[in-house]
Amino acid sequence: MIGCGPVGALTANLLGRHGVRTLVVERGTAPHRQPRAFSCDDEALRIYQLAGLRDEVAADMYAPTIVEYVGASARPFATIALDEIDFGLGAEPLHFFDQPILEEALRKGFDRFSHVELRTATELVELTQDADGVTVVLRDVDSGRHTTVRAGYALGCDGARSAIRVEAGIKLVGTSYAEPWLAVTADVPPEAVRVPETQFVCDWRRPGFVSPGAIGTHRFEFMLQDGESVDEMTSPETIDRLAARFVDPARMRVTRAVVYTFHHVVAERWRDGRVFLLGDAAHQMPPFLGQGLCSGLRDAANLTWKLAMVIQGHGSDALLDTYETERRPHTEEMATTSVRLGRVFLVRKRWAAALRDAALRTIQTIPRVRRFVRHFEFKPLPTLRAGFLAGGVRKGPVGVMFPQPFVTVDGSRRLLDDVLGTGFALVGPDVSAQTAATWSGPPATFVRVLKPGASPAGGEVVEVGDPDGLLKAWFDRNRVGMVVLRPDRFVYGTDPGYTAIE
Ligand SMILES: Cc1cc2nc3c(=O)[nH]c(=O)nc-3n(C[C@H](O)[C@H](O)[C@H](O)COP(=O)(O)OP(=O)(O)OC[C@H]3O[C@@H](n4cnc5c(N)ncnc54)[C@H](O)[C@@H]3O)c2cc1C
């Protein structure tokens, strides 16, 4: 695996959990000190949980309760009420984190596996592949010495300028945005905060994003205007002036100030034989939905168990083709939604901004529209349209992400995924010892959701209580008695049938 940014580090942890021998090659010597990504969602927390690291990474996160879109007058014209939203995945819908702390926790996760090795200060310089595997030439950054490594597969988690993508001859398709942005991270004590809400500042004169973050940090992002230079914008005077509406600049300590431009690009292929691209190496999107990193984490959650199945003899090579089939449409939908939000957010004419603010306020007097905005219903759902699903395509609950409520096991309350393990799982009120005995798929966990008064299933079936009735409601709504869940917690099928891809 090449690259140990957040996506690479998560990927290696997931491969470790699935028992795959993994070498992680990273050019840098220490985790990234640059807090670039700032937010993650409930799906991301679920994926960290799959890697067995949710408590470790969530410990320092901050979950905001509200996101406001404010116009030039600083009055909100739209609000996302995060504290009113529960997408059912076992976590709040939005979290802010500190990237260096996150990366450190992920790297510490490697200590759990003797079969995961991290080699820092080492970079990929060449890659070739044949029918049986890949050969990579690595360069020790300090000594310049070259070594050759042979592996079954190569995963490119090496970021936006991916060397592995270049070596595989894969092009990026898309556009880059012309407008540069100033991104500032600062330490701000609570008493110095003037605006505690997370705000998209849709001011036609200078759009921006401002929010408190994890561990007493604050994030400010402001679009540059024509003619403004990097030196001028990153100067303490400019940052103090721009931040003053939101915090007391005298008590703020800036830890990072950079100017960057963002991109909306996707690799034309995510697989080339035994080479796969994940994270920024495969796709980059504008940050208005905070989904850049989250999309990379989803890539890792999708590909790693498939790779493990193929390596461990439970699946054929064709299973690996479903990685791009499943992930590309969702990523493109996220990117498109992010671009659309940007269009609303980045209006640069006074009259157009006034019209937007008024139109959005008016249209939200319709309760359905207000709910659509307030409850973040414009965020694309975690759903697979086609791929490794019973029947091949989405149908009913097949292809949706299964909810993650609390369950009880032997009287203790636990999140469902912690009971399901890392592989396939058959879950539902109809799961029985017979289900386990006749299951023909890869190794799985069998979980029966107890109905009041039901007698024990026996055998290897785990019995769980449904204290909040959420599982019962889900099974009733979907009119099924069990589901087959894939290791990434998408619904594969609704009966115990299983068909391997040939
Ligand atoms: C200002 C900004 C704000 C953002 N905000 C958000 C946000 O709020 N939410 C969100 O989800 N995303 C956000 N993103 C996007 C997010 O930062 C990226 O999607 C994420 O960092 C990508 O992670 P990655 O692991 O794929 O790549 P990277 O973080 O770029 O990691 C790639 C790693 O590969 C290593 N590497 C590269 N080449 C080689 C080589 N040849 N050999 C060995 N190692 C190599 C690098 O040293 C690096 O460690 C933001 C991005 C920016 C720029």
**In the 3-class helix/strand/coil scheme, how is 148-184 assigned residue by residue?**
EEEECCEEECCCCCCHHHHHCCCCEEEEECCCCEEEE
Instruction: Tell whether ligand 1 has an atom less than 6 A from the beta carbon of residue 90.
Output: no
| All CATH 3.40.30.10 domain ranges in the chain, comma separated | 406-493
Name which residue sits closest to atom 49 of ligand 1, judged by CA.
5
CB atoms within 10 A of CB 21: 14
Q: 295 CA distance to ligand 1 centroid (A)?
A: 12
Note whether 281 and 170 are within 8 A (CB): no
Residue 64: pLDDT above 90? Answer: yes
Q: State what percent of residues in the chain have pLDDT above 70.
A: 99
pLDDT of residue 478: 97
Instruction: Say which CATH architecture domain 62-95+178-261+349-382 belongs to.
Output: 2-Layer Sandwich (3.30)
C-alpha 159/C-alpha 284 separation (Å) is 9
pLDDT of residue 32: 67
C-alpha 131/C-alpha 395 separation (Å) is 36
Residue 459: pLDDT above 80? Answer: no
Instruction: Tell whether ligand 1 has an atom less than 6 A from the beta carbon of residue 405.
Output: no
pLDDT tens digits along 184-198: 999 999 999 999 999
* Lookup result for tokens 């509200």: 66
Q: What is the mean pLDDT of the chain?
A: 95
Q: Which residues have a Cβ under 8 Å from the Cβ of 250 and sit 6 or more positions away?
A: 192
**Which H or E run contains 462?**
strand 462-464
Note whether 398 and 494 are within 8 A (CB): yes
Strands 181-187 and 172-176: what pairing?
A: unpaired
CB atoms within 10 A of CB 303: 27
C-alpha 134/C-alpha 148 separation (Å) is 10
Q: Which of 358, 360, 357 is nearest to 370 (CA)?
A: 360
pLDDT of residue 147: 98
C-alpha 276/C-alpha 1 separation (Å) is 10
Q: State what percent of residues in the chain have pLDDT above 90.
A: 91
C-alpha 191/C-alpha 107 separation (Å) is 34
406-493 belongs to CATH 1.10.645.10: no
Mutate to test the pocket of ligand 1, among 23, 270, 280 (most ligand atoms within 8 A of CB): 280
Helices (H) and strands (E) in the chain, counts: 14, 27
Instruction: Tell whether ligand 1 has an atom less than 6 A from the beta carbon of residue 257.
Output: no
3-class secondary-structure state, position 345: helix
| All CATH 3.50.50.60 domain ranges in the chain, comma separated | 6-57+97-172+265-334
End-to-end CA distance of the chain: 26
Name which residue sits closest to atom 35 of ligand 1, judged by CA.
3
Instruction: Tell whether ligand 1 has an atom less than 6 A from the beta carbon of residue 26.
Output: yes
pLDDT tens digits along 144-187: 999 999 999 999 999 999 999 999 999 999 987 778 999 999 99
pLDDT of residue 53: 98
Confidence of residue 85 (pLDDT cuts 50, 70, 90): very high
Q: What is the CATH T-level fold of the domain 6-57+97-172+265-334, as seen in this structure? A: FAD/NAD(P)-binding domain (3.50.50)
Stated length of the chain: 502
pLDDT tens digits along 323-373: 999 999 999 999 999 999 998 888 999 999 999 999 999 999 999 999 999
